[in-house]
Amino acid sequence: MSLNLQTNTQHFTNPLYLESGRILEPYDITYETYGELNEDKSNVVVVCHALTGSHHAAGYYEGENKPGWWDGLIGSGKAIDTDKYFVICSNVIGSCFGSTGPMSPMLPHHEPYRYKFPVVSIKDMVKAQRILFDRLNIHRVHAIIGGSMGGMQALQFAIHYPHFANKIISLAATHATQPWAIAFNKVAQEAILKDPEFQQGYYDPDILKEQGLSGMAVGRMAGHISFLSHESMREKFGREYKLTDGLYELFGKFQVESYLEYNGYNFTKWFDPLAYLYITKAINIYDLSRGFDSLSEALKKITAQLHLISFKNDLLFRNFEMKEIADELTKIGNTNFNYFDVESDYGHDAFLVELDKFEDYIKEILK
């Protein structure tokens, strides 16, 4: 069967009331769907993306040789089987791939919002998606799944829209962003803000697409360190040195240095720096217990079957952060959940890379 990849954008004119008390109007949400919606609409699986992800979760665009970010998991016969399920992945508000974000035109003018864009939270991103699904006439879904910031969205859905999904699967996430992760985001934010080419937010996006932004590249390098682990770096690069460089050349490089450089600089040509600042802010202020007396009060709202998946050597969101959610659920007498800690040395990015370690588990959950 074909993937039946379709990309659409919906335009909303009703105001979106944000957690901060501010309003976003009008706004657009770009989303992608795969597979076919069945007659009673009972086969919908919602996929939520991470910080630098987008609605393009699977399949190939014409003329591109790189597939969507979770292509190994979504498709015909795969864990999220598009022969069975109708899969929707939408780009979050605040991002830079079609949904309204800081570089979108601020109506009635055609100038971009830039810093006039309101701070959005993960809860706001989820609320906007919920409004999108209403528009699409989808009022209940089979499952919601996401990793990292996508896992945060899945958990927010579980608490704030308790009757929307039958199953919630959250991978490599946490119940509240901890100082370690906030610290890595701080390095990236500072590196962007202090780069003169950033022009205090008034840069020309076309120039950055061509030249990149070195400050953002440096910040992204720090990010990459937090996505891997001591073990995975050792296995991936060891102490390999670039063959063309001399050991005693001051700027001769180890493979790990080349990797960080390549990924850092490349990234800045396709991801917008203001969107990066806004989304890392949303991640930093994420806390499931906000608006409740405690985490357990928040978790009492959950009625869906909940699946928590952590990765043993995740340095960004430690596996015990997921276990804390599991322990709280046990304490309040919730028996409708599972906690699975994946044996992995890869680090945080295992949820994108080591699919073979959990794809069967996901398949089983979705059944």
Report the pLDDT value the prediction gives residue 138, as an integer from 0 to 100: 97
Q: What percent of the chain has pLDDT over 70?
A: 100
Report the pLDDT value the prediction gives residue 2, as an integer from 0 to 100: 82
6-177+287-366: CATH number: 3.40.50.1820
pLDDT at 1 over 80: no
Report the pLDDT value the prediction gives residue 262, as an integer from 0 to 100: 95
Report the pLDDT value the prediction gives residue 289, as an integer from 0 to 100: 98
> Domain-by-domain residue ranges, the chain?
6-177+287-366, 181-281
Report the pLDDT value the prediction gives residue 333, as an integer from 0 to 100: 98
Fold of 181-281: Rna Polymerase Sigma Factor; Chain: A (1.10.1740)
pLDDT at 145 over 90: yes
Q: In terms of pLDDT, which residue wins out, 107 or 36?
A: 36
Give the mean pLDDT of 283-302.
Answer: 98
Give the mean pLDDT of 274-288.
Answer: 98
Give the mean pLDDT of 195-206.
Answer: 96
Query: Could you give the C-alpha distances from 298 to 173, 228, 326, in angstroms and in order?
Result: 16, 31, 13
Same fold: 6-177+287-366 with 181-281: no
pLDDT at 109 over 90: no
Tens-digit pLDDT profile for residues 34-74: 999 999 999 999 999 999 999 999 999 999 999 999 999 99
Confidence of residue 326 (pLDDT cuts 50, 70, 90): very high
Provide the annotated active-site residues: 148, 314, 348
Confidence of residue 159 (pLDDT cuts 50, 70, 90): very high
Tens-digit pLDDT profile for residues 328-351: 999 999 999 999 999 999 999 999
